[in-house]
Amino acid sequence: MAQLISRLRVWRGAVLLLAGLYFLIPMAASVWFSIDDANGISFDAYTGLLSAPGFTDSLVLTLELAAVTVVVLLLLLVPAMIAVRLGAPKLRPVLEVVCTLPLVVPPVALTAGLIGVLRWGPDYLMDTPFFQTFVFIQQPEFPLVLVIAYVLMALPLAYRALDSGLRAVDVRTLVEAARNCGASWPRAVVSVILPNLRGALLNASFLTLALVLGEFTTASILGFQPFAVWIYSVGNSQGQMSVAVSVLSLLITWVLLLLLAAAGRERRHKTTTAS
C-alpha cells in the first residue's frame, strides 16, 4: 500500500513537472524575448506601451465592448435560465439548444454570415429605415455588430457557468419562501436568487471578458480595431511590444480570475457553515 502511494506521488509529480515546463517555458521565454535587447536588458516594450499609437484607444474600445457584452449577455440569459427552472421546464431543451448551437458555428463562419447579412443593407434595404440600423451597428466608434457576435460566442460558456451555479441553489424553494414572505417577483429574484448566484455570475462575466479581450477573428475580418487586432498590427513593426502586451494581458486576466476564485472561496466558507 505504501509502495502504491509513493508510486502515485512520483507519477503525479512527473506529470505536474512536465505540464509545468510546457506551460511555463513559453511564458518565461516571451518575457525574456520582450526585454531582450542587443545591448542587454531593456524595458522599452513596456514603458513605451502607454504612448504607443492606438494602444489606449483600442484598449478602451475593447473594455467598453466587454462591458456591454457582459451586461447584454447576463440580461438575456439569467432571466431565461431562472424562468426555465421556475415555471417553464418545457423550454429547457430549447434553451439548451440555443446555448449549444453557437459551438458548431466557428467564429469565422459566423463572421461570414454576418457579412452576408450586412450586405443585404445596401443591396435590398437602401430606402427603408432598416438601412439606418445597419449603418448604426457598424459605426467604428462603437461597433454593436461585434457585441452581437460576442454575445453569441459567449453563450455556451456563460450558460455552463450559470448552470453549474444554479444547480447548487434550490431556486424554487428560495423563491417560494421569498414569495410567502410577501416579496414581489422582481424582488424575490433580485434580492434572493442573484446573491446566491454571485460566484457563477462573476465567473461567467470574467470568462466573457477574457473572450472579448482576446477575440481577433470577427473584429479583424470586419475591419474594426479592438485590442487583439491592435496587438496583431503592432506585431508587424514592433515584435517585442506585441509579445509584451500578449503576456501582460494573459497575466492580468489570470490574476483577476485568481482573486475572484479566492473571493468566492471565502464566501462559500461563510455560507456553508450554516448548512
Question: In a 3-state reduction of DSSP, which class is residue 28?
Answer: helix
Residues 44-73 that bind other proteins (CB under 8 A): none
| Out of 157, 193, 200, 201, the residue judged to bind other proteins by CB under 8 A | 157
Residues 111-130 that bind other proteins (CB under 8 A): 111-117, 119-120, 123
Distance CA 228, CA 240 (A): 15
Smallest separation, CB 212 to other proteins (Å) = 9
Q: How many Cβ atoms are within 10 Å of 173's Cβ, its own excluded?
A: 9
By C-beta, is 64 or 163 nearer to other proteins?
Answer: 163
- H/E stretch holding 140 reads none
Residues 201-220 that bind other proteins (CB under 8 A): 206-207, 210-211, 213-217, 220
By C-beta, is 30 or 64 nearer to other proteins?
Answer: 30
37 binds other proteins (CB under 8 A): no
49-57, 161-169, 194-202, 266-274 -> range binding other proteins (CB under 8 A) = 161-169
Smallest separation, CB 45 to other proteins (Å) = 11
CB 175 within 8 A of CB 189: yes
| Out of 167, 187, 267, 268, the residue judged to bind other proteins by CB under 8 A | 167
Grid cell digits, residue 209: 471578458
Grid cell digits, residue 238: 514592433
Residues 6+ apart with CB under 8 A from 111: 149, 217, 218, 221, 222
Cα of 36 vs its chain's centroid, Å: 32
Smallest separation, CB 39 to other proteins (Å) = 17
Distance CA 254, CA 246 (A): 12
Q: What is the Rg, in whole angstroms, of the alpha carbon atoms belonging to the chain?
A: 23
195 binds other proteins (CB under 8 A): no
Grid cell digits, residue 189: 429574484
Grid cell digits, residue 234: 503592432
52-60, 62-70, 144-152, 192-200 -> range binding other proteins (CB under 8 A) = 144-152
CA-based nearest residue to 117, from 97, 94, 137: 137
For residue 164, what are the CA distances in angstroms to 57, 103, 133, 199?
A: 36, 18, 37, 10
Smallest separation, CB 17 to other proteins (Å) = 10
261 binds other proteins (CB under 8 A): yes
Smallest separation, CB 193 to other proteins (Å) = 12
Smallest separation, CB 196 to other proteins (Å) = 12
By C-beta, is 51 or 180 nearer to other proteins?
Answer: 180
Residues 85-114 that bind other proteins (CB under 8 A): 85-89, 91, 94-95, 98, 100-114
46-54, 63-71, 190-198, 243-251 -> range binding other proteins (CB under 8 A) = 243-251
